[in-house]
Amino acid sequence: MITRLTIKQPDDWHLHLRDGAVLGAVLPDTARHFGRAIVMPNLVPPVVGFEAAKAYRDRILKALPDGAGFKPLMTLYLTETSDGADIARAAEAGLVHAVKLYPAGATTNSDAGVRNIETVYPVLARMSEIGLPLLVHGEVVDGDVDIFDREKIFVDRILSPLRERFPDLKIVLEHITTRDGVDFVKAQNANTAGTITPHHLMINRNALFQGGLRPHYYCLPVAKREIHRSALVDAVTSENKRFFLGTDSAPHPDKDKESACGCAGIYSSPVAISCVAQVFEDAGALENLEAFTSRNGPEFYSLPVNDADMILVRDEDPVAVPEIIQAGSDTITVFNPGTPLYWRVANE
């Protein structure tokens, strides 16, 4: 049995840091383990332009623990009035590394998102020209579509035609939850990739209802059937370079999760690496862990692999998963997959 691994320091290619007290509370958990992270722009108000992205990056850097080498990779929020020239300026300055497409109403703080994809075609054309990736929350929001089918319908109705129209545009289908999403990425050219989260690798939709309604397993896109979770595991543990880690760690105060209309989001940053290592061990694929966590993402984004190493150790006893973290006067519950995790980061 393998009990020790050394891999290049991972990156998180899909992360929510929020702002204010929550930013200060959650950022250390990411900075301990990850060299870089693609930071989501769905604040209130959203991060839509150069100046807003610069100001948000400055707040993140100011909140970093002393001595942390973590680098935030900023993104812009795509709206139907986004300025292609401003986006290009931010990209050429090295400030932003991607633009995020939220279908309006699809998830947290997405009301300013896109309702008609054709309205942003000119911006997408400009992004294609300069090689700036489009990050996609892949769900339709039609009321007549079952919530468990929203990703598949989005792939069929929106993403496939978009891929055909802009073959040179780099597209990342984020937080894939279905076999359909996996198959889409596999079938496309090298300009198409997908991120997959630790929680979608570890739980299926049954987790939402075991012993009652479980709000801390509720996220968007929601977890799907076991056949889909298995397809995600097969994808990440394979040697396909176009799947990489994006935790979609999304903190919400417990008072907002445990309410009559609970927020969608799972906070996984403290245990993300332990979760993913456990998934790879269980699949008998630890030799492919480094590619998924540390190499595939940088290659897609045309960035160097991190120089630093991460040492992972497998203990005989399960890792102690923290229950909560404190964010000002609020608490935030940490993701617990409900199954033992034996891998920990030894050189935190």
Spacing of C-alpha 126 from chain mean position: 24
Nearest one of 259, 257, 227, 224 to 334, comparing CA atoms: 257
Q: Helix 84-92 and helix 121-130: axis angle, to 10°? A: 20
In one-letter notation, the amino acid at residue 81 is: T
Q: Which residues have C-beta within 8 Å of that of residue 300, sequence separation ≥ 6? A: 133, 170, 172, 193, 241, 242, 244
Residue matched to tokens 């456990």 = 278
DSSP string of 60-128, one letter each residue: HHHHSPTT---EEEEEEE--TT--HHHHHHHHHTTSEEEEEE-BTTSSTT-TTSBS-GGGGHHHHHHHH
| Secondary structure element (H or E) that encloses residue 135, with its range | strand 134-136
Let me know the angle formed at the C-alpha of 125 by 136 and 221, rounded to the nearest 5 degrees: 5
Dihedral sign for Cα atoms in the order 155, 157, 160, 163: negative
| Secondary structure element (H or E) that encloses residue 343, with its range | strand 343-345
What tokens does 280 get? 């790879």
Cis link prior to 161 (omega < 30° from 0)?
no
Cis link prior to 45 (omega < 30° from 0)?
yes
Dihedral sign for Cα atoms in the order 295, 265, 205, 173: negative
Q: Out of 11, 29, 180, 248, which one is annotated catalytic? A: 248
Task: State how beta strands 343-345 and 171-173 pair.
Answer: unpaired
The reply to whether 248 belongs to the active site is yes
> Any idea which residues carry the catalytic annotation?
248
